[in-house]
Amino acid sequence: AFYSRDPRFSFILLPENVGKRKAQIAAIGQSSGDLVLNVDSDSTIAFDVVSKLASKMGDPEVGAVMGQLTASNSGDTWLTKLIDMEYWLACNEERAAQARFGAVMCCCGPCAMYRRSALASLLDQYETQLFRGKLSDFGEDRHLTILMLKAGFRTEYVPNAIVATVVPDTLKPYLRQQLRWARSTFRDTFLVLPLLRGLNPFLTLDVVGQNIGPLLLALSVVTGLAHFIMTATVPWWTILIIASMTIIRCSVVALHARQLRFLGFVLHTPINLFLLLPLKAYALCTLSNSDG
């Protein structure tokens, strides 16, 4: 009510909840700026985010750019603390490395800026994405980013453009979110494969690793469990290798970030092994489903 009296703001009230894609398209159609900033409703951007993202968009070859995500409720529970660290890793390792080679593979919804001239030719494809003949109604951010890359634009990451977003504080909504994201990743991997031949080889390794890596880790866990069931002996080598890799990774990140809190990220390993890996396997087997 307060902002509706300000002539700088325009509010679009849709008759019903039509989903994120149609809402975005309605807003883009009624705006006129050269750049379009998407901010999710549960996110808050820092005062200088717009200028920092817009500065990166000064390069006409850049079609989309994202900022760094943090959890606004990171102090609420042990899970929100882990997710906040997970976001730091996703942004400052994965996205930063991808940006080094000119193609961030997913500009995240909490804070992403797009070039209007690039969007104009992509919205029809974006709105009507199909998977096995059915409209796809999740994974909007990843799909729109891939469409940008297919159109020949670069996608970038700006680490000092900070956005705080609300993250799940209990396991059930977190796992529902991860299920949607896993299906989206698997679905859009098929779309991105033809692009890889024109991108840096690192990005091929990254895409393959993100999809094959969890499956190989799951195979190791299943093999270890089978060994225990069949021989009644604990597979100490498997446990030792996974534990060692976890400790080394968390120590390197703690050193890189200069934050000791990342040593606590070792707690994410059992969640990954016993919850996220089975969930990703389920997602791969139910790609046509749209339920959470």
Q: Which tens digits make up the pLDDT trace of 182-214? A: 998 888 888 888 888 888 999 999 988 888 888
Q: How confident is the model at residue 289 (pLDDT cuts 50, 70, 90)?
A: confident
Counting residues of the chain whose pLDDT is more than 70, the rounded percentage is 99
- Which whole number is the average pLDDT over 42-66? 96
pLDDT for the residue numbered 292:
53
pLDDT in tens, 100-110: 998 999 999 89
Q: Which of 157, 276, 164 is nearest to 213 (CA)?
A: 276
Interval 98-121 mean pLDDT: 93
Average pLDDT, the chain: 91
In this prediction, residue 263 carries a pLDDT of 96
Bin 11: left if φ > 0, else alpha if -120 < ψ < 50, else beta. Answer: beta
- Residues 6 or more apart whose CB falls under 8 angstroms from that of 159 comprise 67, 68, 91, 92, 96
Report if residue 88 sits inside a domain: yes
Return the C-alpha torsion angle 272, 276, 281, 286, nearest 10: -170
- Extract the tokens encoding 284: 């791969």
Higher pLDDT, 147 or 210: 147
Written as six digits, the tokens of 20 are: 């994120």
**Which domain, by its residues, includes 52?**
20-286
**β-sheet bridge partners, residue 44:** 164
**Whole-number Å distance between alpha carbons of 51 and 131:** 37
For 192-226, give one letter per residue: b (16+ CB within 10 A) or e.
beebbeebeeebeebbeeeeeebeebbebbeebee
Q: Cα–Cα distance between 126 and 144 in angstroms, integer?
A: 6
What pLDDT is attached to residue 291?
Answer: 60
Tokens 């190989």 — which residue?
216
Assess if residue 108 is contained within a domain.
Answer: yes
The mean pLDDT of 228-249, rounded to a whole number, is 92
pTM of this prediction? 0.91
Q: Flag whether pLDDT at 132 surpasses 90.
A: no
- Within-domain flag for 4: no
Structural domain contains residue 32: yes
Domain assignment present for 9: no
Q: State yes or no: pLDDT of 1 exceeds 90.
A: no
Closest to 174 (Cα-Cα) out of 271, 253, 262? 271
pLDDT at residue 146 greater than cutoff 80: yes
47 within a domain of the structure (yes/no)? yes
Total domain count, the chain: 1
From 68, 4, 11, 72, select the one nearest 43 (Cα to Cα): 72
CA angle 19, 24, 28 (to 5 degrees): 155
Environment class of residue 54 by beta-carbon count within 10 Å: exposed (0-12), middle (13-18) or buried (19+)?
Answer: middle
Alpha carbons 141 and 40: distance in angstroms, whole number: 11
3-class SS shares of the chain: helix, strand, coil, % to 5: 60, 15, 30
Which CATH number belongs to the domain containing residue 274 in this structure? 3.90.550
In a domain, residue 98? The reply is yes
Give dist(CA 7, CA 212) in Å, integer. Answer: 51
Residue pair 65/57 in contact by the 8 Å Cβ criterion: yes
In a domain, 223, yes or no: yes
Least confident of 92-106, 125-139, 143-157: 125-139
Give the pLDDT score at 186.
86
